[in-house]
């Protein structure tokens, strides 16, 4: 019996089911965990502590032996892996883009309201459209989609709608050139205990080496910033035809929204290089 820890939302359950499918459908049990982020839907994510609020309790279930594996959205993981755990697999990556539901960006009237709980999204959209007004967006996918009736548009991750079969709700996909995604967006990450060799061997069979390299490069940028950085940041890595990693990063602060791009062969080194490139853009200004 394989015990898999996951949040209880429809999306989280679907992601856990996808991992089970990739593993060949072993006999399993879902260990449903309520996280801080799930319990405190009345508080903005950045006020709860940003990254980690949807994963800590799920990770604890593996650490204390209640579960063998933990399935996460990779974008919810802080840059530094918790002591005692290892990311055994990045099994797949869906669409990395954000999406608008309700209206296209160009069609939003001046002063229109956009609902999103992500400071990363707000910072980038505000730089493009300073006239927009932003409100919080929390809850499950159905709750978020329903909010589009009350505002000009809502912003959601395209991968979430894809996994739930709800892409028909998308009004416009926002390309990375417009809205750089969160670190690891669209990817799944499966953790196990670092001393559980059986689980590690099992997960190695579904680990995607391309996703591991690209998400690894993006996560190295988070680590370069300090691991649990709560600033508005984005990153997206792709593999070039010659096998190098092309990493584009974004950081929004009091000086505005800055982007930088670096190339290199090693995921773990690119985060530091990207941060140095961002500092160069600050100096140039």
Helix pair angle (209-225, 267-284), 10° resolution: 50
- Residue 193 shares a structural domain with residue 150: no
pLDDT in tens, 221-264: 999 998 555 678 999 999 999 999 999 999 998 778 999 999 99
Pairing mode, strands 245-253 and 98-101: unpaired
What value, to the nearest 5°, has the Cα angle with vertex 172 and ends 236 and 144?
A: 90
CATH code for position 14: 3.40.190.10
- Residue 66 shares a structural domain with residue 200: yes
- Residue 8 shares a structural domain with residue 67: yes
Give the pLDDT score at 49. 54
- Residue 269 shares a structural domain with residue 231: yes
When divided into structural domains, the chain yields a total of 3
List the structure tokens of 145.
């989609």
pLDDT in tens, 142-201: 889 989 989 999 999 999 999 999 999 999 999 999 999 999 999 999 999 999 999 999
Task: Decide: helix, strand or coil at residue 71.
Answer: strand
- Residue 13 shares a structural domain with residue 43: yes
Active site residues: 76
Q: Which domain holds residue 127?
A: 98-174
> Is residue 47 scored above 70 in pLDDT?
no
- Residue 114 shares a structural domain with residue 237: no
Cα separation of the two ends of the chain:
57
- Residue 161 shares a structural domain with residue 196: no
């Amino acid at each position: 019996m394989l015990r898999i820890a996951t949040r209880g939302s429809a999306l989280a359950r679907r992601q856990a089911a996808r991992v089970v499918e990739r593993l060949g459908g072993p006999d399993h049990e879902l260990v449903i965990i309520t996280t801080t982020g799930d319990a405190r839907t009345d508080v903005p994510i950045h006020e709860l502590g940003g990254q980690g609020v949807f994963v800590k309790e799920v990770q604890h279930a593996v650490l204390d032996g209640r579960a063998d594996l933990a399935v996460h959205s990779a974008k919810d993981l802080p840059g530094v892996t918790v002591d005692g755990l290892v990311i055994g697999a990045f099994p797949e990556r869906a669409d990395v883009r954000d999406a608008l539901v309700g209206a296209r960006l160009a069609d939003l009237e001046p002063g229109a309201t956009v609902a999103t709980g992500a400071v990363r999204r707000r910072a980038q959209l505000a730089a493009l459209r300073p006239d927009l007004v932003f409100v919080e967006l929390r809850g499950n996918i159905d709750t978020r989609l329903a909010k589009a009736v009350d505002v000009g548009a809502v912003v959601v991750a395209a991968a979430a709608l894809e996994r739930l079969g709800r892409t028909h709700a998308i009004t416009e996909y926002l390309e990375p050139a417009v809205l750089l995604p969160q670190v690891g967006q669209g990817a799944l990450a499966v953790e196990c205990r670092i001393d559980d060799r059986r689980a590690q061997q099992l997960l190695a069979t579904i680990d995607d080496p391309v996703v591991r390299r690209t998400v690894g490069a993006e996560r190295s940028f988070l680590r370069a910033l300090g691991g649990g950085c709560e600033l508005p940041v984005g990153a997206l890595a792709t593999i070039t035809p010659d096998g190098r990693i092309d990493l584009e990063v974004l950081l929004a602060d009091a000086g505005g929204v800055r982007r930088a791009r670096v190339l290199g062969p090693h995921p773990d080194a690119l985060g530091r290089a990207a941060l140095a490139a961002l500092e160069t853009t600050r100096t140039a200004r």
